[in-house]
Chains A and B, each alone.
Chain A
Amino acid sequence: MNDVTLTPDIRTKQGMAISSENIILVKDLVKKFGNFIANDHLTFQVRKGEIFGFLGANGAGKTTAIKILCGLWYPTSGELNVAGYDIYTQREKVKQNIGYMSQKFSLYDDLTVFENIRFYGGIYGLRKNEISERAKSLMEKLDLSSARNKLIRDIPLGWKQKLAFSVAMLHNPKIVFLDEPTGGVDPITRRQFWNLIYEAAHGGTTVFVTTHYMDESEYCNRVSIMVDGRIAALDTPEKLKYQYNASTMDDVFIRLARGK
């Protein structure tokens, strides 16, 4: 096998060195709902500037783990440190230093492009002049200036996705959590979206992303795969493919996740 494919895992896809500093530290995370164990002693770290893929079959426990990392749900037990803050005692600090975007919830359909930016800017505690500056540069960058006063429900899905991502980044968070951000979008827009992700990571933002598109998992520095509440594998895509004797991440996933 060509040694080019075994990328050392401390280089980014952008050619920059990832800091060895960990921005997310999880140790023995457990989450129970009654007798059901949704997260069963998860232990992992995410490095600053990494694009970290978080995969798993439906029902494997991904959404539960993400909600806990974002400070939305309390763990049953375990240690968690996100963006430098303890999840038990400094939840509000965690929330101020992260961004979140998902397929199901991102922007308000009945507000305009600009109104959404202004609204989220306010929630993130930005000052009025910061909001107008960032709104202007964001809209120019995404070529949305002409759509400033259009309602979100009236703009195409691809524009919504890119805007939602940029809004999640508005306050320059240390980490951005993306929950299936590219579902249903055409293949060209999907790649444009990933360019935004690469740029964010190049700028030092850590990206924590879940996806059902297996080719997208290949864009990540490292990928973890959850099966039945546990992490069944965690490594670079190259090493996972080598370890499971697979030519694509799709094959790795099938081999691992078929467990149930």
Chain B
Amino acid sequence: MKDPVAVSVKNLTLRYGATLAIDDISFDVAGGELFGFIGPDGAGKTSLFRVLTTLLVPNRGACFVEGHDVVKEYHQIRNLCGYMPGKFSLYLDLTVEENLSFFATIFGATIEENYDLIKDIYVQIEPFKKRKAGKLSGGMKQKLALSCALIHKPRILFLDEPTTGVDAVSRREFWDMLKRLRDGGITILVSTPYMDEAGKCDRVALMQSGKIMKIDTPEGIIKDYPYALLAVKAGDVYPLLKELIQYPGARRADTFGQSVHLSFRKGEIQPDELQRYLIQKGHPHVDIEPITATIEDCFMDLMTIN
């Protein structure tokens, strides 16, 4: 019977020599959840996935995957999880078909018995099945790597930065595939440096420098954002930014595409006064709009606290 808690981590700490890669983190992932780890390089995401897939032994902490201890019962875990490590993990000098066949075989499965699971993904690369994996584009490599991680029908998937370096179209398609897999009952843990991908997860953990800053649903994180935000838009972003950084009363000013997000303590926001100030400073045509925070606004705020 499926454990309702698919992954349980308590007080996990990991060091590489003197470097503290993971600093006392704890969390649970429920069965069938699409759970995201959002954070930049150095946050500890790859290290965490290596511990959970039993490739690294932690210095401290108790971690369980599908009820099995990551240190004492690593054999069982290795059979039931699928893993897509960061960057690229497949054999570049083997063809698409050969890679898939290889991964099926080492898990004692066949392509035929689990083909249904990967069909939606594999049909997109099937026309290239005789091409060497090294000659595929980034987006196609990701699809192949995902197919290979799924071919033995794992109960849980660990995907370490599967969308890094991949273009925006392929990224969207990839997340659509993940949602379909989650709907089919597979627990999925994904890491990504792209803040906008947080919104596609059931719950996310925001990570920075080996620590988890916050865990919640994306909506919950946004709801907890403690400040009021204005989006200010004028012809040229950079001179506007320099002005807004100086604006008294504003906590942060950050560029977001062609606007600047300006944060204030709640109750202290005064769009009209800001408009007058900007006109006076030589920015006559400005659009000022109150907005809801994005995950990126929340992340930057949490970074400055920590």
Contacts and interface: CB of A to CB of B under 8 A. Distances in A.
A254 B40 contact: no
Given A11-B235, A14-B236, A257-B169, A191 B303 contact: no
B255 interface: yes
Contacts of A57: 137, 139, 167-170
B168 A253 contact: yes
A201 B229 CA distance: 29
Nearest to A185: B40
Contacts of B172: 254
- Judged by DSSP, the binding face of B is mixed
Interface in A244-260: 248-250, 253-254, 257-258
A220 B90 CA distance: 36
B203 interface: no
Interface residues of A, number: 45
Contacts of B139: 57-59
A14 B239 contact: yes
Contact of B258 (A157, A237, A253): A237
The winner among B40, B137, B194, B286 for most chain A CB atoms within 10 A is B40
Contact of A191 (B233, B254, B299): B254
Interface in A155-204: 156-158, 180, 183-189, 191, 194, 198, 202
A219 interface: yes
B193 interface: yes
Interface string B277-306: 000000001110000000010011001100
A93 interface: no
Interface string A42-68: 000000000000001111100000000
Nearest to A212: B167
B303 A219 contact: no
Contact of A184 (B41, B234, B256, B300): B41
Interface residue tally on B, bucketed by range: 35 or more
B134 interface: no
Contacts of A183: 164-165, 193
Given A57-B139, A58-B167, A187-B300, A7 B40 contact: no
A41 interface: no
A4 B234 contact: yes
A109 B287 CA distance: 45
Interface in B188-205: 193-195
A185 B238 contact: no
Interface in B220-237: 233-237
Nearest to A256: B169
B137 A58 contact: yes
A15 interface: yes
Given A185-B40, A254-B168, A254-B172, A5 B233 contact: yes
Nearest to B252: A188
A2 interface: yes
A218 B258 contact: yes
A13 B138 contact: no
A2 B300 contact: no
Interface string B141-181: 00000000000000000000000111111111000000000
